[in-house]
Every structure is written in structure tokens, then in C-alpha cells.
Amino acid sequence: MRVGFAGTPAFAARALASIETEGFTIPLVLTQPDRPFGRGLSIAPPPVKRYAAEHELPLVQPASLKLDAVQAALRAVPIDVLVVAAYGLILPQPVLDWPRHGCLNIHASLLPRWRGAAPIARAIEAGDTVSGITIMRMDAGLDTGPIVTAQPLAIDARETTGSLTDRLAILGASMIVDALRMLERNGALPATPQPSDGATYAGKVGRADTLIDWTHDAVALDRRIRALAPSPGAVAGWRGKSVKIHAACPIDSSIIAPPGSVIAAGAQGIDVACGSGALRLTQLQPAAGRTMPAHAFAAGHRVVIGDRFGPGR
């Protein structure tokens, strides 16, 4: 069976590797163009491109799928099904109609909860205890297509977007291979329309989402920090500059202090008062610096009780 693939990050590369390892013919791989990456903003290929190049898979990197010429070039390559995983570009109807058996999406949530671009981060931020993978048939809507199969995965208490993404990538890679085997064997994949109740939208993480507001509850701030780890990171203010908070945890504290105030600093971290409760910062990254333990940051910046972290900006 001829399986086309469209995806960009490591989550998608894991699925591509499983499909290729299982022996499916892959006539074409689509991924997004190379982008600036890291502190130096050097141009870097996405993980899917790296895997395709290493395994000599045919690859294209269109900046958009809206052009007639791009669509015609794709449709000139015969495929039976297109697997899509965190591709990042909208598939117009002519592309959806390209494969003989349509397009299958590996979505990192239990649809219809968390349709959209950032289902993993939004699940952690919301305090969900369960995530999962849904394999769905794609239609013109935003993650609205009928469900082929879905499998839950528990979210650990201290889960970050990075750790949950890794675990969901493994699950998704296994599930899409099973679905492709069924399609190959039966010539069709039964699917069930999504329920109308329970739909939520996982909007893309933007700059405003990264900014810490110390007047919020410590538990909610902890969830947001974990949702933003390892990247792009939560941002707070420190002595007129920005500092990223990569790890923290809520703590019990009876000390009353203005939100953002340092109420303790030591080997365990830097304790900061919040609108409700307190947050112990354990890993920080100063502007133009490297990530470090909070106690090292405290020593290097001479943090004392009464110092203030400001809002992110």
C-alpha cells in the first residue's frame, strides 16, 4: 500500500519511522520549510525532513498547499492514503481528495476535546488527568472528522508538554500502523462521527500565553509552567529583564506577601508568593543565559527575601 506522509516535528517523525519500518511504500513525504531555530536562530531542518533524508524518502517542503501548481504536483503522485501528524498547514479540499482512501490524522487528544494546534499543552494547562491519541479521517473542518480509533493515556501528576508529547508519540506511531494494516487488509476503515458534546479548542500557544501573572493561583501557574516546558518556557520579569521559568511546583506557605515577592531562597529553590499560595521555582533561565538550578540563580543574582519577580513582558 502506498502511504503518503505529512508532518513536521519529532512527534510526527516517530510515526513516519514506524510506517517506514513496517515496510509500507512511501512515495512522498511533506514537511514544512526549514526555519530559524535555537538561540542563534540558525536555519534548521524539521525532524521529519531529517528522517526522510536519512532514509532516502522523496520529500517536498511547500510553504503553502493553496497554489494550484503545488496541488497538481502532489496529485501527480499516486498514493492510497495520506497520514498527517502535526503538519502545521491546512489541507485544502483538492489535497484531501488526493489519496484513494482519503487522509488519516494522528491527533494528540481524545476528540472532540482539544481540537486545534496545541492539544497537549492545553490539556496540561487545564489540569486534565487523561489525554490520548485519536486516529481520524480528515474532512474540511478543524479536527472534526469521524473517529477511526482512540486510546486514552493518563497524564502524570508532574507531566510537562515535553514528557507527554514523547509518550503520545509512541502511542500514535503504534496506532497508525495498526490502522494502516487494517486498511490494507480490508480495503476500508470504519469510522464513527464525533459526538457533538464535549468539544473544546486548543489554540496555538502564543506570546501572551507565556507571560506569568503572579496574582494568579499557584496551582494554576504551576500547570501553565509545565504546559510551556521545555519550550517556549514561561516568562517573568526580574530586575527589569525577562527570565524564563522552566520548572516549579506549588508549596504550602502561611507567609502573606505581595504576589511576586520572594519569601524564601535556598538549596531547594526560590519560593515566590502568588495570588493564592506560593510557587517554588527550581529551574530558571536568565536573559541571554543558560538554564540553571534556582539556587544557582539565587546565588548569582543575590536574591534575598523581599525581592520581587515582576509579570512577564
- What would the DSSP string read from start to end of 168-234? HHHHHHHHHHHHHHHHHHHS----BPPPSTT--EEPPP-GGGGB--TTSBHHHHHHHHHHTTTTT-E
Residue 210 — very low, low, confident or very high, per pLDDT cuts 50/70/90? very high
Looking at the predicted structure, is the pLDDT value of residue 89 above 90? yes
**48 CB-contact burial (10 Å; exposed 0-12 / middle 13-18 / buried 19+):** buried
Task: Report d(CA 24, CA 129) in Å as an integer.
Answer: 35
Using one digit for the tens of pLDDT, what is the confidence trace for 225-275?
Answer: 999 999 999 999 999 999 999 999 999 988 999 999 999 999 999 999 999
C-alpha cell at 63: 510553504
Rounded average pLDDT over 198-204: 96
pTM for this model (two decimals)? 0.95
* Exposure b/e, 197-221, CB count within 10 A at least 16 = b: eeebebeebeeebbbbebebebebb
The CATH number assigned to the domain with range 3-202 reads 3.40.50.170
Residues of the chain with pLDDT > 90, as a percent, come to: 94
Looking at the predicted structure, is the pLDDT value of residue 101 above 90? yes
Residue 41 — very low, low, confident or very high, per pLDDT cuts 50/70/90? low
Rg over CA atoms, the chain: 22
CA dihedral 59, 65, 67, 71 (to 10 degrees): 60
Looking at the predicted structure, is the pLDDT value of residue 38 above 90? no
Using one digit for the tens of pLDDT, what is the confidence trace for 273-304?
Answer: 999 999 999 999 998 899 999 999 999 999 99
Looking at the predicted structure, is the pLDDT value of residue 196 above 90? no
Average pLDDT over all residues of the chain: 96
- Residue-range domain boundaries for the chain: 3-202, 207-310
Rounded average pLDDT over 69-73: 97
Looking at the predicted structure, is the pLDDT value of residue 40 above 80? no
3-state helix, strand, coil in the chain (%, to 5): 30, 30, 45
Of the options 3.10.25.10, 3.30.530.20, 3.90.1300.10, 3.20.20.70, the CATH number for the domain spanning 207-310: 3.10.25.10
Same fold, 3-202 and 207-310: no
pLDDT for residue 39: 60
Residues of the chain with pLDDT > 70, as a percent, come to: 98
Residues belonging to the chain: 313
pLDDT for residue 247: 98
Residue of higher predicted confidence among 133 and 37: 133
